[in-house]
Amino acid sequence: MNVVALLDALEFAADKHRNQKRKDAERSPYVNHLIAVTRILAAEGGVDDEAALLAAVLHDTVEDTPTTFEELTARFGATVSELVREMTDDKALEKAVRKQHQIDHAPGLSPLGKQLKIADKIANSKRQGEYQKFIIKLRAEAIIDWKNDEIKKAYEVGLKEEEAAAAAANREPGTGVR
């Protein structure tokens, strides 16, 4: 991994997102999200592919700033730009349509694109305190080849918690039936 390239991408993204804040209670700087996604991808996902890590840092630049794919290609290369393209939502669509589009197109993402999408979702769900809901949703969407032991453990814990909650409510797990 070229650390200078990663720092260049981080500096680029921080500049592009400089006036943006997260929607959390602290209104934290947007760059914190980009760092979190990159850390999750590397540390929890075991990804050391340079293009994937650069794309993690840059994944929201086209969607949320005036950055173009051509600009990313010129500065960071076609592979990084294409990974960012896989992550970019069409903001012209209504939110519900965008979210459904993500679900519909997730199986067709590249393997690195899937890992990047998962890291982004984990970063967002951790921030929102909805990690267990996210894990159960992923199970339903069936878009992942579970490679990472930490994510597998979280998935298993999520199922055990769902089963315990179902027993407490006297219903079958995964259903609303009592």
Which member of 8, 63, 82, 89 is catalytic? 63
One-letter-per-residue 3-state SS of the chain: CCHHHHHHHHHHHHHHCCCCECCCCCCCECHHHHHHHHHHHHHHCCCCCHHHHHHHHHCCHHHHCCCCHHHHHHHHCHHHHHHHHHHCCCCCCCHHHHHHHHHHHHHHCCHHHHHHHHHHHHHHHHHHCCHHHHHHHHHHHCCCCCCCHHHHHHHHHHHHHHHHHHHHCCCCCCCCCC
- Among the listed residues 8, 44, 64, 162, the single catalytic one is 64
Per the annotation, the verdict on 64 as an active-site residue is: yes
β partners of residue 21? 29
Active site residue 24: no
Place of tokens 């009592």: 178
Cβ neighbourhood burial of 121 (10 Å; 0-12, 13-18, 19+) = buried
Residue numbers annotated as active site? 63-64
